[in-house]
Amino acid sequence: MTIVFKLKGFEQEGFEIQYAAGVLRRGGLVAFPTETVYGLGALVWDERAVTRIFQVKGRPSDNPLIVHVSSVEMVEKVASRIPEDAYRLMEKAWPGPLTIVLPRSERVPRTVTAGLDTVAVRMPSHPVALSLIRETGEPVAAPSANLSGRPSPTTGYHVIRDLMGRVEVILDAGATLQGVESTVVNILTEPPTLLRPGAMPVEDVERILGRRILIPGFAKGLEHAEKPLAPGMKYRHYAPSAKLVLVEAPLYTLECLKELAGYIRRQASLNSDGKLCVVATDETLQYYSGSGLKTLSLGSRRDLFEIARNLFPTLRKVDEEDCRIAYVEGFPEQGLGLTIMNRLRKAASEKHYLNC
């Protein structure tokens, strides 16, 4: 049985938080909001509870989890060593959507780290998440609170749809602020390496560190990592049940976007078996008028924060609209555009590149 607590806004204390913390301490699973997406948490030291996370989600066992903390003292419990760069990032970027890869403490079960000698750690900024971790009194291991491979949950409703009856508690505090997962950086390499772009643009991390960060192909979603060092590196993720077709271009000028929309219309006209949808932006909706295609808007290209926040709810809506195939437009890879493209490339089952 799953208990769902509806929290009023950013409620930080009370019976609900105390009850959920007690469930974690007793070996149960709790879904909770963060500023990025909802997480599915277990006490980090409880290997049986952590194993249940993988079972409940259908998550591959070689896909490591992120450890969530509420203080630097908790970081010192899960990491055997904390480099100066890590302290610098903690001071400037925490609490917030940045995950730092550190050397693993021997106390951390290898189930959490998928057998790696490193551990990924972050301090969320959502008041409910911080309050839950503080009340629990120990770090909490948590991936996103969805079935593996599905679009990440950005509302309590999404979590209920995926995990009702599978976990002990769901803390529903409404929609998350940023809508995409945290940025993951490995500072143990030289130069530091971006393992997953996220809600904190990599350019902001570079400004804090005062030097460039290596961005490998898998961080752009262009290839799969052989061995995942952080969540989202190896497997297909974030995907709706419908076939998702991503159409990219070298530039996204108005002329190119018009040509891209024409290309999608032509491709869609060749597919008549089932409902077709287009995941578009405000700037291109007009080009699909009269096509008979169902359009789902991500928002304006002038606001990548809005695009990122709307991405996962829109991908879930693709299935709610019973679309068989959904075409989606690409984005430039600067700032949050890199994060958006990573998610779209991971979710897409087919990719087209348009020279315009």
pLDDT confidence of residue 243: 93
pLDDT confidence of residue 244: 95
Determine the Cα–Cα distance for residues 222 and 21; give it in Å rounded to an integer: 39
pLDDT of residue 229 exceeding 70? no
pLDDT of residue 71 exceeding 80? yes
Binding region for ATP: 59, 63, 118, 144, 152, 196, 238
Q: What percent of the chain has pLDDT above 70?
A: 94
CA angle 287–293–295, rounded 5-degree value: 70
Peptide bond into 143 cis (omega under 30): no
pLDDT of residue 138 exceeding 80? yes
Binned at pLDDT 50, 70 and 90, residue 269 comes out as confident
Determine the Cα–Cα distance for residues 228 and 44; give it in Å rounded to an integer: 19
Q: Looking at the domain covering 243-353, what would its CATH class be?
A: alpha beta
Helix axes 156-163, 304-320, angle to 10 degrees: 40
Nearest to 224 by CA among 239, 236, 215, 241: 236
Which architecture characterizes domain 3-180 according to CATH?
Answer: Alpha-Beta Complex (3.90)
Nearest to 231 by CA among 182, 291, 285, 172: 182
Binding region for L-threonine: 36, 68, 122, 142, 182
pTM: 0.94
pLDDT confidence of residue 290: 87
Binding region: 36, 59, 63, 68, 118, 122, 142, 144, 152, 182, 196, 238
Binned at pLDDT 50, 70 and 90, residue 105 comes out as very high
For the stretch 274-310, pLDDT in tens is: 799 999 999 999 999 988 899 999 999 999 999 999 9
pLDDT confidence of residue 270: 83
What is the helix (H) or strand (E) element at residue 247, kind and residue range? strand 243-248
Residue ranges of the domains in the chain?
3-180, 243-353
Mean of pLDDT values over 200-228: 89
Q: What percent of the chain has pLDDT above 90?
A: 87
Binned at pLDDT 50, 70 and 90, residue 133 comes out as very high
